[in-house]
Amino acid sequence: MKPAFTIRQQSPIYVGPAADLLPGLLPEGRVVVVCDATIDRLYGPLFQSHDRMLIGSGESIKTLQTVETLYRRFIEAGVDRRTFILAVGGGIVTDVAGFAASTYMRGLSFGFVPTTLLGQVDAAVGGKNGVNVDGYKNMAGTFTQPRFVICDPALLRSLPDREFRAGLAEVVKTAVIEDAGLFARLESTSFGALRTDTDLLSDAISASIRVKAGIVERDERETGERRKLNLGHTLAHAIEKCSARMNHGEAVAVGTAMIADVAVKLGLLSPADRDRIVAPAARPRVRADPSRRRPASFERGRQGQEKRGRPAPHRPARRHRRLHRAADTGRRVRGAGSAIKRSGTYRCGRSTEISSERLSNLPLLFSFSARTLPMPGAYHVLVCAAAPTTDHLTWTVSVRHTVSYVPAGTVVVSCATTRRSAIRIDT
């Protein structure tokens, strides 16, 4: 079977049954399969003749610690440069296994069999492999193309509806970027039809890969055009950091809808086109204000206090209480600078409040890149969700970290790393 696409003449991508394709694509010699327990249980027979190494699941395991564990297991198992690594699973598994393979012994050959819709249309395609560092998204990684990628729509039958919807958010994003035909088909196709009709699903997967493969072919290392593939992701990464209730695809859906709304305010997009984008982007059916949802652990503690007849108010740390009140009232607070400095964020100049009327005069306010490190003349803020009030624009910010970049000479944003805080605009 010929590949449907090939990236940079070295990474063929197949859309078809993995069971038929794998035997002809796996090299002779030793193959080590990296997957999670769920994939091992569901699809173990696909690779039962090969060694298996299981890792966890979820964003929390996408770390250097997991990669280090894999390194040690590779050493214990005698993995060498002749060993082929096959990653089978969702985007987390392919990211971790791809990074481990591309760095172990200066690089091993590897291939991907993504088993989620999000993995097939985005995470496993394009050669980006990386992990998070201290909560910062994808800060350690490589650009290394897999030897092959097999996208089998039949593997998606076992996906829960929520995970399938999360993948659709990436399909919508791709259609918005560069495929009006795919977007029109998504508008006219129901979720149920995509879920059950293999031909419709294969068409959507192939169309999404075609767009991404073309962009990666022209800009593999994201020096220009490939940045378009980050549509909705800056705000999505902020949402993921502030709320454990959303997965990546759901956060991308919300981020895409938010940035479309901003584009309307800036006169870059018509309201009609915004509504067209928001409708399919909202299919994951999630709230756009994840910051207002308490973590499950907080809710359990609160319920326990209520059962014991004790009040359970939300009481932030003392040095942040005034900042919490500022977020609720929109007032400025003296002494915020020291809290900001202690918590590791940055500020300069004089602070003023931003009114909702001034939004149209700040065209770069939302032009953030979530992967830039601190540098002279640049300041960082993690923005989660906008909620315009009567007099001021109130945002939700991270509890611990700042990750986004605002170019020097435009708008410098500073805020304390509290659960809620009024933003200050330095002018």
Per-residue pLDDT tens over the stretch 16-70: 999 999 999 999 999 999 999 999 999 998 888 999 999 999 999 999 999 999 9
What are the φ/ψ torsions at residue 388 (nearest 5 degrees)? -60, 130
**By three-state DSSP, how is residue 6 classified?**
strand
Would you give the end-to-end CA distance of the chain in angstroms? 59
**By three-state DSSP, how is residue 394 classified?**
strand
Band of residue 412 on the pLDDT scale cut at 50, 70, 90: very low
230 is catalytic: yes
Instruction: Look at 358 and 11; give whichever has higher pLDDT.
Output: 11
Which one is catalytic: 62, 128, 137, 392?
128
In this structure, are residues 258 and 288 in contact, taking their beta carbons and an 8 Å threshold? yes
**Residue matched to tokens 């010699």:** 29
What are the φ/ψ torsions at residue 124 (nearest 5 degrees)? -85, -5
pLDDT number for residue 281: 55
Task: Outline where 9-63 has alpha helix (H).
Answer: 18-25, 37-43
pLDDT number for residue 279: 84
pLDDT digits (tens, 9 = 90+) for 292-318: 444 444 444 444 544 444 444 444 444
- Average pLDDT along the chain: 75
Which one is catalytic: 62, 137, 248, 380?
248
341 is catalytic: no
2 is catalytic: no
347 pLDDT more than 60: no
> CB burial class (10 A; 0-12, 13-18, 19+) of residue 328?
exposed
Q: What percent of the chain clears pLDDT 70, i.e. is strictly above it?
A: 65
233 is catalytic: yes
In this structure, are residues 74 and 126 in contact, taking their beta carbons and an 8 Å threshold? no
When pLDDT is averaged across residues 172-178 and rounded to a whole number, the result is: 95
Instruction: Look at 323 and 238; give whichever has higher pLDDT.
Output: 238
pLDDT digits (tens, 9 = 90+) for 229-256: 999 999 998 888 887 788 999 999 999 9
217 is catalytic: no
pLDDT digits (tens, 9 = 90+) for 135-162: 888 999 999 999 999 999 999 999 999 9
411 pLDDT more than 50: no
Band of residue 213 on the pLDDT scale cut at 50, 70, 90: very high
pLDDT number for residue 220: 95
Output the pTM of the full model. 0.68
137 is catalytic: no
Most confident of 164-178, 313-327, 359-373: 164-178
The tokens describing 274, both together, are 């915004």
